[in-house]
């Protein structure tokens, strides 16, 4: 079976592995690092490419054992020399692979320059297959030589296309793989009501409506401009029967009755672009109190917050909510955490 390598949001290893095993039954995980998995699967590259919780996915062409941890950048030249000695390099490439390629070298997740002569020799060896030609501009394919600080090295064929999310997403909009994981963590079910009271540009509501079991998604935000933009996206995507968008304050959800919402998935403001009324602790106390009110007994709340050290003490004042699990992550380089909370039932 082919071996794949995929990267994901660091900190979410447990949920990502569970989602992988759910999506690709029979998968065998070989290496589990923070933000990276290697695994064997009988499914083809298209199935791996389509997995929505990964940032990038690759086909593993060669591994480099015994490199040692915390090596310097010179380890990449050592890996290139090893590739040159590999008599079956062309045979490792998929037979259907044709067109142009470039060789990308990465050291500890940073693109790093290597010995130019060695690089060109490896490119020539790859091109000797007769199916590929070097092109460093806009190639059809990328072959990566990658070293991880834990001591692992790989020669990889990239399966996914790079998306410059910082250019195509609105400011503050969640990356799609994070939005997918937040929805998945809420254990979505057919026919349930899901609420996002801080819908913003709509990453979470649109993901829930298009990628998960059918149900009604209720989306609201205090910003009237964002609400109108999301309404337009819903109309354009023919999702008016799946997503209802309204303007509203998450601290005053009077249109929803007590215990009427099955799941809440949301990414509230962190205070990065505007001050939170009364400060973060007071703001989130009001928000969580109202969310707990509208959530059904046994319902789940999945919320992404800037690292909120005050949250454990705050939850002590909200006995109806219990913390199921939390995962510290980085979002655009900033510390944050995903919290999964459950509303207690009367029998708890």
Quick one: tokens of 43? Answer: 């499914």
Quick one: tokens of 278? Answer: 């009364």
Q: Does residue 129 fall inside a structural domain?
A: yes
More confident residue, 217 or 311: 217
Q: Which of 122, 144, 166 is the last residue of a domain?
A: 166
Q: What is the pLDDT of residue 66?
A: 87
Q: Calculate mean pLDDT across residues 81-110.
A: 89
Q: Which of 136, 166, 196 is the last residue of a domain?
A: 166
Q: Where does the pLDDT of residue 41 fall: very low under 50, low under 70, confident under 90, or very high at 90 and above?
A: very high
Q: Does residue 302 fall inside a structural domain?
A: yes
Same domain, 83 and 156: yes
Helix axes 203-211, 224-236, angle to 10 degrees: 20
Q: Where does the pLDDT of residue 130 fall: very low under 50, low under 70, confident under 90, or very high at 90 and above?
A: confident
Q: What is the pLDDT of residue 309?
A: 80
Residue 122 φ then ψ, to 5°:
-65, -40
Distance, C-alpha 300 to centroid of its chain: 20
> For 176-208, how does the pLDDT look when each residue is reduced to its tens digit (9 = 90+)?
999 999 999 999 999 999 999 999 999 999 999
Is pLDDT at 230 greater than 60 in this prediction? yes
Q: What is the pLDDT of residue 275?
A: 67
Same domain, 162 and 172: no
Q: Which of 166, 191, 225 is the last residue of a domain?
A: 166
Q: What is the pLDDT of residue 347?
A: 44
Q: What is the pLDDT of residue 333?
A: 83
**How far is 123 from 110, CA to CA, in rounded Å?**
20
Of residues 97, 99, 90, the one with CA closest to residue 129: 90
Q: What pTM was computed for the model?
A: 0.92
Q: What is the pLDDT of residue 93?
A: 87
> For 138-177, how does the pLDDT look when each residue is reduced to its tens digit (9 = 90+)?
899 999 999 999 999 999 999 998 655 444 456 668 999 9
Same domain, 267 and 133: no
The CATH number assigned to the domain holding 9 equals 3.30.2130.30
Q: What percent of the chain has pLDDT over 70?
A: 94
Quick one: tokens of 290? Answer: 């109202």
Same domain, 156 and 218: no
Residues spanned by the domain of 106: 3-166
Q: What is the pLDDT of residue 55?
A: 94
**How far is 120 from 134, CA to CA, in rounded Å?**
9
Q: Where does the pLDDT of residue 59 fall: very low under 50, low under 70, confident under 90, or very high at 90 and above?
A: very high
Same domain, 277 and 208: yes
Of residues 158, 159, 161, 177, the one with CA closest to residue 169: 177
Same domain, 184 and 326: yes
Q: What is the pLDDT of residue 264?
A: 98
Q: What is the pLDDT of residue 313?
A: 87
Of residues 280, 274, 324, the one with CA closest to residue 305: 280
Neighbours of 26 (CB within 10 A): 10
**Which of 41-45, 117-121, 228-232, 303-307 comes out lowest in average pLDDT?**
303-307
Give the count of domains, the chain.
Answer: 2
Q: Where does the pLDDT of residue 348 fall: very low under 50, low under 70, confident under 90, or very high at 90 and above?
A: very low
Helix axes 176-185, 203-211, angle to 10 degrees: 70
Can you name the residues that pair with 58 across neighbouring β-strands?
Answer: 5, 158
Residue 128 φ then ψ, to 5°:
-65, -15
**How far is 328 from 316, CA to CA, in rounded Å?**
20
Is pLDDT at 134 greater than 90 in this prediction? yes
> For residue 311, what is the enclosing H or E element?
helix 311-316
Q: Does residue 193 fall inside a structural domain?
A: yes
Neighbours of 158 (CB within 10 A): 18
Pairing status of strand 56-64 against strand 3-7:
antiparallel
147 within 8 A of 67, measured Cβ to Cβ: yes
Q: What is the pLDDT of residue 270?
A: 76
**How far is 240 from 138, CA to CA, in rounded Å?**
39
269 within 8 A of 276, measured Cβ to Cβ: yes
Q: What is the pLDDT of residue 166?
A: 47
Q: Calculate mean pLDDT across residues 267-278.
A: 72
Quick one: tokens of 18? Answer: 């569970």
Same domain, 155 and 182: no
More confident residue, 288 or 332: 288
Question: What is the number of alpha carbons within 13 Å of residue 237 lying toward its C-beta?
Answer: 18
Q: What is the pLDDT of residue 92?
A: 84
Q: What is the pLDDT of residue 272?
A: 55
Q: What is the pLDDT of residue 274?
A: 61
Q: What is the pLDDT of residue 259?
A: 96
Q: Residue 176: left if φ>0, alpha if ψ -120 to 50, beta else—which one?
A: alpha
Torsional sign, CA 73, 78, 82, 85: positive
Q: Torsion angle, CA of 191/247/238/205, rounded to 10 degrees?
A: -50
Report CA-CA distances (Å) from 335 to 10, 11, 127, 312, 338. 11, 11, 43, 17, 11
Q: Where does the pLDDT of residue 242 fall: very low under 50, low under 70, confident under 90, or very high at 90 and above?
A: very high
Q: What is the pLDDT of residue 276?
A: 75
Residue 39 φ then ψ, to 5°:
-155, 155
């Amino acid at each position: 079976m082919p071996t794949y390598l995929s990267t994901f949001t660091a900190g979410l290893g447990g949920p990502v592995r569970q989602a992988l095993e759910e999506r690709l039954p029979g998968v065998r995980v070989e290496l589990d690092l923070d933000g990276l998995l290697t695994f064997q699967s009988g499914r083809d590259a298209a199935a791996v490419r389509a997995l929505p919780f990964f940032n990038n996915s690759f086909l593993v062409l060669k591994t480099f054992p015994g490199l040692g941890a915390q090596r310097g950048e010179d380890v990449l030249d050592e890996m290139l020399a090893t590739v040159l000695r590999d008599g079956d390099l062309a045979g490792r490439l998929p037979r259907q692979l044709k067109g142009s390629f470039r060789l990308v070298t990465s050291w500890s997740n940073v693109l790093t320059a290597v010995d130019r002569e060695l690089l060109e020799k490896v490119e020539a060896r790859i091109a000797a297959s007769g199916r590929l030609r070097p092109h460093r501009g806009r190639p059809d394919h990328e072959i990566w030589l990658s070293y991880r600080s834990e001591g692992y090295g790989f020669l990889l064929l990239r399966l996914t296309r790079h998306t410059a999310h910082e250019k195509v997403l609105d400011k503050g909009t969640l990356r799609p793989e994070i939005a997918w994981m937040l929805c998945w963590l809420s254990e979505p079910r057919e026919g349930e009501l899901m609420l996002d009271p801080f819908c913003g540009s709509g990453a979470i509501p649109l993901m829930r409506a298009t990628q998960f079991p059918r149900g009604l998604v209720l989306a609201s935000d205090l910003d009237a401009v964002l609400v109108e933009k999301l309404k337009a996206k819903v109309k354009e995507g023919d999702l008016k029967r799946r997503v209802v968008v309204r303007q509203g304050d998450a601290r005053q959800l009077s249109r929803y009755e007590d215990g009427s919402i099955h799941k809440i998935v949301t990414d509230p403001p962190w205070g990065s672009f505007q001050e939170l009324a009364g400060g973060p602790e007071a703001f989130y106390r009001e928000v969580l109190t109202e969310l707990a009110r509208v959530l059904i007994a046994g319902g789940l709340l999945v919320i992404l917050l800037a690292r909120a050290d005050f949250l454990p003490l705050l939850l002590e004042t909200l006995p109806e909510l219990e913390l199921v699990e939390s995962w510290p992550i980085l979002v655009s380089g900033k510390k944050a955490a995903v919290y999964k909370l459950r509303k207690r039932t009367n029998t708890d």
